[in-house]
Structure 1
């Protein structure tokens, strides 16, 4: 039995709030503003080949604006920009039990999932994700005392991301089949 087999989530998530948007030590992190230049920045990043290859969301700007508004209006996900000066990363913080990933592992109600992208190709390979993840996980655990796990599910072909996530403290659990990819489920516990 793995550490993921020990718990089965309840179907009732009505009392579980939207995921927190904490501030990790050494970084700023904020929800995307769908009424400002954030939409243009995110739209441009999602068109970049190194992001589009794994996110599959090189959508028109208008669709991104709708997507961001929908995420912010619900309790499933929080789209965020992250940086130290200018924004350098896009992070979606989501409740895993409300996501498709819950179909491939026993998600606990307060588990948090992350989707992470470095928007500018020139900023990749600099250790940003490896540095951010430990601070972000600690901030998530502090913000939600009932959260005991943070999960990632990168495409198995994205070796660079998997290496960064491993260096950032996440342990691979196994490959899982999601609707749009074969993913490596990765977990960091409290």
Structure 2
């Protein structure tokens, strides 16, 4: 079971402050609905979802102890949706041998304001990984993007994730990817890069 969701703030030089807080369905439904129903978010699987359905889904997620959703902000503006889950409590856990310390993530980058910004996704992914790996019991990060989403798979591989097998989930064919804690946190370093 995951710990109670927490919030985090992380200043990133040349980028601004990245903050992560739990989704509040009543407060955040408009922005989440706008993002998940766009064509660019087709692999999220909610293109045709009504506002009410999105609210229902995130209210349900908010009630779980094994799955959590977070809204990510850059200097106070929402920029991404980040979800975490315990693989043993998720359909993905029936598709591979779950290890103690496995921890799953989903990531949706919101639509860009003013065009594409080089390095934007990488900075956010680094912040997410630091947030997740702040808990020392999380030993391996698991991701399972839609297998057709080559951009997501490529981005995760560039971040150090190792591709695993293709798996069939109820709503998609997915590519399993794994990132061992040691690949992100070499001995003596914390996820935020501080030694100690």
Shared fold by TM > 0.5? yes
Extract unaligned runs of 5+ from structure 2. Answer: 13-17, 182-196
Matches within 5 A, 1:101-140: 101-120=92-111, 126-140=118-132
1:107-156 deviation per Cα after TM superposition (whole angstroms, max 9, x unaligned):
135421111112215666743332222332233122x2211011110111
Q: 2:36: which partner in 1?
A: 46
The residue aligned with 1:177 is: 168
Runs of 4+ in 1 over 6 A off after TM superposition: none
1:57 aligns with 2:49: no
Q: TM-score, normalised by structure 2?
A: 0.79
Matched, 1:73 2:58: no
- C-alpha distance in 1, partners of 2:85/2:118? 25
Taking a change above 3 Å as real, the CA distance of residues 104 and 24 of structure 1, as seen in their structure-2 partners, is: farther
Bigger strand fraction: 2
Matching residue of 2:192: none
Query: Does the CA-based 8 Å contact 1:72-1:79 persist in structure 2?
Result: yes
Matched residue SS, 1:35: helix
Query: For the Cα contact (< 8 Å) 1:118–1:124, is it kept in 2?
Result: no
Structure 1, gaps ≥5 residues long: 1-15
What corresponds to 2:90 in structure 1? 99
| TM-fit CA distance, 1:88 | 0.9
Q: Secondary structure at the match of 1:155?
A: coil
